[in-house]
A and B are shown apart, each in its own frame.
Chain A
Amino acid sequence: MIATTGTALTPHAYLQARSRWGVIEIAFWLATLLPFFLFPNYLSLASQIAITALFALSLDLILGYAGIVSLGHAAFFGLGAYAAGIFSKFVWGEPLSGLVVAAVVAGVVGYATSFIIARFRHLTLIMITLGLGFLVHELANSAHFITGGADGLQGVRIWPIFNYFRFDLYGYTAYSYSLVVLFLTFLVARRLINSPFGLALRGIRENPNRMPAIGASSRAHIRKIYTISATIAGIAGGLLAQTTETVSLGSIDFQRSADVVVMLVLGGVGKLYGGLLGAIIFMVARDQFSGLNPQFWYFPIGVLLVAVVMFLPGGILGGLSRLLAGIRGRRP
């Protein structure tokens, strides 16, 4: 929240005041440690949630802050996953360097496509992202000799982190690793959003034609954030490949692109924590509901999605913060 006391007079001081850590934020991150104690049997799921949350965070940077709706964001997730998997298979299995490779591959492709992305908006843009997503999916499918195609990439072996923390069956290492990467990336994203660049992005989201008139090139900003977002999506994909030691076409297909949009909308767009919350709700719901009925687990998600979009325009997080503001006796 914005500090209400005093006026910060320089942009720097103003943005700094905005970026102070709140109690709820600290509590949230402490709560991410709870699975180690409360649900030690669910650490693999917790690790998947952390990875998915990171992917949702990457989408929030472009969708929530720059207004770029993408239905093909799994392309970067999948590129990262395949890059990390193939790297471990043919070069070596050291995980941190593998993650860097995943980030670089996704980032480079993100940068290359950002020139197209920055030129379009609305339906055209959505169709372009969708098309790019299909394109990358088909490439992964047809490059069977290296990706394993529909059979998935087999033979991924990841060394222990720092040559010490072995990936165990219970997912203890996997969750610790994913959580640390999520947290560090989140810090970067948070810093970025609370910078003048982040504020300019929000201006672009609201009115891309207006921003140049106050000195910011909308296209250059969009290219930057799209590249950053693709890089983070690639890191998330790389994490999945490394923690599961396999890569399937499912890491790069349309379903994954659509799911991450659903999570972000459920949680709340443009709030950094929305994607995190959405990923938790979505993944836990999938885990629980598919236990009850493996055929129709998406049904309750669909109901929830429609309800949230109709009644909670700011997503679940937006609803919660309105509730909190009401309790504090302030107008939202």
Chain B
Amino acid sequence: MAEPLLAISDVRAGYGDAIVLDNVTLEIPDHGSLAVLGRNGVGKSTLFLTIMGYTNVSRGTIVWRGRDITRMAPHRRARVGIGWVAQEREIFPSLSVEENLTVASRPGRWDLKSVHDLFPRLAERKNSKGNQLSGGEQQMLAIARALMTNPALLLLDEPMEGLAPIIVEEVERAIRRMIKDEGTAIVLVEQHAEIALSLTQQAVLLERGRIVHRAPSAELMRDSATLNRYIGLSIEAPAA
């Protein structure tokens, strides 16, 4: 089997002395896609912070393309090809849309033209300041900005959260295109389990900082008993 893009083995991580994640083992192959599901506070965002290097890792290793990056500084992880869209979006408020994108720009197939293509709305609003954007536009900008770094792996933390249904559709379409057409590997944390599972190949369920279930996404989609047990919803009747 080919070397995975990212391999997390037996990682224990947290903040200060507090342990949030334990015994986490994950592999993401090149062009792979993974959904991470779980209730609030189980450590989904901490998993991303750990991959980006913002937490204390007290055990285990994180390996990127065969290279141990467990102790690597966050900005160097971004440069080797890990992109991260935080739940808070964190748009630079007084920079224009175009500046928000340009500041992240690294050479590759994603540039201003191709992200404008992906999100035409950003081209229309290129001279607006970050703080003048709607929530949906901010989310598109956050994703586009991460793409501008031309990552091989994109970490998406609840990209649909709080968005109007029509915007959710647009973001969903963009993510699908990134996975299918562009071959970007993706880890997707999402409360909308049905969308997350329909987009990805593999899925894991987190509970109290541990992985409690692994399955191909299509299989988990039909396994309403497991979904109901760990995230309290079934696909037929999604929770509000």
Contact flag A215-B113 (CB < 8 Å), given A4-B127, A203-B92: no
Inside 8 A of B123's CB, which chain A residues have their CB? 7
Contact flag A9-B113 (CB < 8 Å), given A206-B93, A206-B95, A213-B84: yes
| Pair A7/B146 contact, Cβ less than 8 Å | no
- Between B73, B76, B102, the greatest number of chain A beta carbons within 10 A of the residue's beta carbon is seen for B102
| Pair A215/B111 contact, Cβ less than 8 Å | no
Inside 8 A of B105's CB, which chain A residues have their CB? 11, 196
A131 at the A/B interface (Cβ < 8 Å)?
no
The chain B residue with its CB closest to the CB of A201 is B103
Contact flag A203-B127 (CB < 8 Å), given A7-B112, A211-B75, A215-B149: no
Contact flag A2-B96 (CB < 8 Å), given A213-B78, A215-B78: yes
Within residues 239 to 293 of chain A, which ones have a CB less than 8 A from any CB in chain B?
none
| Pair A9/B111 contact, Cβ less than 8 Å | yes
A144 at the A/B interface (Cβ < 8 Å)?
no
- Identify 13 residue pairs between A and B in the complex whose beta-carbon atoms are under 8 Å apart, listed by A's number: A2-B96, A7-B112, A7-B116, A7-B123, A10-B111, A14-B98, A14-B102, A202-B94, A210-B92, A212-B74, A214-B83, A214-B104, A217-B73
Contact of A199 among B74, B103, B146 (CB under 8 A): B103
Q: Report which B residues bind A (CB closer than 8 A).
A: 52, 54, 73-76, 78-79, 83-84, 86, 90, 92-96, 98-99, 102-106, 111-113, 116, 123, 126-127, 145-146, 148-149
Contact flag A213-B92 (CB < 8 Å), given A4-B127, A199-B102, A200-B103: no
| Pair A207/B116 contact, Cβ less than 8 Å | no
| Pair A214/B149 contact, Cβ less than 8 Å | yes
B157 to chain A, nearest CB (A): 11
- Between B75, B99, B126, the greatest number of chain A beta carbons within 10 A of the residue's beta carbon is seen for B75
- Between B52, B105, B145, the greatest number of chain A beta carbons within 10 A of the residue's beta carbon is seen for B105
| Pair A216/B90 contact, Cβ less than 8 Å | no
